[in-house]
Amino acid sequence: MLQGKRGLIVGLANADSIAWGISKAAKEAGAELGFTYLNAAIEKRMRPLAESLGAAFIAPCNVNNDESLDLLFQEIKDKWGHLDFVVHSVAFAKKEDLMGRFLDTSRDGFLTAMETSAYSLTALAKRAQPLMDKGGSILALTYFGSEKVIPNYNVMGVAKAALEASVRYLAADLGSENIRVNAISSGAIKTLSARGIHGFTDMLHITQERAALKRCVSAEEVGKSSLFLLSDCASAVTGEVLHVDCGYSIMGM
């Protein structure tokens, strides 16, 4: 499905990452992949994974830093001269903002979550556009906490709502270039991002009980669904948020 396509993966941290499920599926579907990492600690875990998929490059990138992004895209331009898809699988909020009341979110905590989890998509899309000269596909990861209140998700829910709205505005702006922008709203998965979240294991149990399919989704399944949105199979799909959540979000009671 992705034969001959070149894609950038932002947000691979370890073998539990949703970005890993997507990367494995994309590689198996014939894509050539490049990866970024934030710092040495993350690089240590992700490098062997990226190398096992024959990564074309593994580059440092802080999505909150314009110079770092410019350097990354210069490297992609020099190496490939062209880009077919981008996967955005990054989010960050301060730990203290993922507990207690949303009401208590500080200005700094709000801006941190918004910058890393929402604005970073626009920052990536802006730089990817000139390299997507024959069209392309941009995919972001989101979560149901953007639509309904999930305990402790708090400022991340607000940031994911901004991310999903960004998907629609970017899709409108880039449509004339045949660049599609979509998101997958994944069901809860135990990744590094879920580690240390108070009551997360209980939330997984509740998810399993209530989801239409009576189970949780895996990163591999998010990977399979991402092939659709990244490939020409979804050539008429843009600005969409696809729920890959075992039907959790369709249930009212």
Interface mask toward ligand IMJ for 92-111; x: CB under 6 A? xx-x--x-------------
Q: Give residue for tokens 């998810």.
A: 207
Smallest distance from the beta carbon of 198 to ligand IMJ, in angstroms?
8
Stretch that binds ligand IMJ, among 20-28, 50-58, 145-153, 241-249 (CB under 6 A): 145-153
Residue 156 within binding range of ligand IMJ, rule CB under 6 A: yes
* Distance separating alpha carbons of residues 30 and 12, to the nearest angstrom: 19
Q: Which is nearer to ligand IMJ, 32 or 97 (CB)?
A: 97
Q: Which residues pair with 8 in a beta bridge?
A: 34, 86
Q: Is 153 a catalytic residue?
A: yes
Nearer to ligand IMJ, 38 or 91 (CB): 91
54: left (phi over 0), alpha (psi -120 to 50) or beta: left
Interface residue with ligand IMJ among 152, 182, 226, 231 (CB under 6 A) is 152
Determine if 10 is a binding residue for ligand IMJ (CB under 6 A). no
Q: Which is nearer to ligand IMJ, 197 or 211 (CB)?
A: 197
Instruction: Supply the minimum distance, in Å, between the C-beta of residue 155 and ligand IMJ.
Output: 9
Q: Of 31 and 216, which CB lies nearer to ligand IMJ in the complex structure? A: 216
Would residue 119 show up in a list of annotated catalytic residues for this protein?
Answer: no
Reduced to 3 states, what is the DSSP secondary structure of residue 9? strand
Size of the site for ligand IMJ (CB under 6 A): 16
Regarding 150 and contact with ligand IMJ (CB under 6 A), the answer is yes
Binding ligand IMJ (rule: CB under 6 A), the pick from 91, 132, 170, 244 is: 91
From CA 7, how far away is CA 128, in angstroms rounded? Answer: 10
Nearest to 12 by CA among 41, 39, 50, 40: 50
User: Cβ closer to ligand IMJ: 44 or 95?
Assistant: 95
- The string over 114-152, giving b where at least 16 C-beta atoms fall within 10 Å of a residue's C-beta and e elsewhere, is bebbbbbbbbbbebbbebbeeebbbbbbbbbbbbeeeeb
The residue annotated as part of the active site, out of 37, 143, 169, 248, is: 143
For residue 117, what are its two tokens?
């989890």
Q: Are 40 and 11 in contact (CB under 8 A)?
A: no
Give the 3-state secondary structure percentages of the chain, helix then strand then coil, rounded to 5: 50, 15, 35
For ligand IMJ, what does the binding mask look like between residues 186 and 225, x meaning CB under 6 A? --x----xx-xx-----x----------------------
| Calpha distance 187→201 (Å, rounded) | 13
Q: How far is CA 65 from CA 5, 60, 88, 89, 101, in A?
A: 27, 11, 15, 17, 30
Please give the residue ranges that form the binding site for ligand IMJ (CB under 6 A). Answer: 91-93, 95, 98, 143, 150, 152-153, 156, 188, 193-194, 196-197, 203
> Catalytic site residues?
143, 153
